Amino acid sequence: MARAMFEYTKTVLSKVSFDVSLFTKELQKALQRLLPYEIEELKIFIMSLVQQNPELNQCLIYLK
């Protein structure tokens, strides 16, 4: 079940990556729901999104 939440989170974040404020809200929700090892995997995924959408760079402060 937890893995399904991780995959769902990746899907949602991909779909809202066009809007920084919406992406930030979804990222904050994801950080509350996911397990610590999933958050580490999510960081890698978000770094690839930031390379495609540089405006998302400001959201990286939530991953520290």
Residue 64: pLDDT band (50, 70, 90) is confident
Whether pLDDT at 3 is above 70: yes
Residue 2: pLDDT band (50, 70, 90) is low
Largest CA distance in the chain: 32
Whether pLDDT at 1 is above 70: no
The DSSP string of 2-64 is: HHHHHHHHHHHHHHTTT-HHHHHHHHHHHHHHS-HHHHHHHHHHHHHHHHH-GGGGGGGGGG-
Distance (Å) of CA 40 to CA 18, 19, 35, 46: 23, 23, 9, 10
Whether pTM exceeds 0.85:
yes
Domain range list for the chain: 2-63
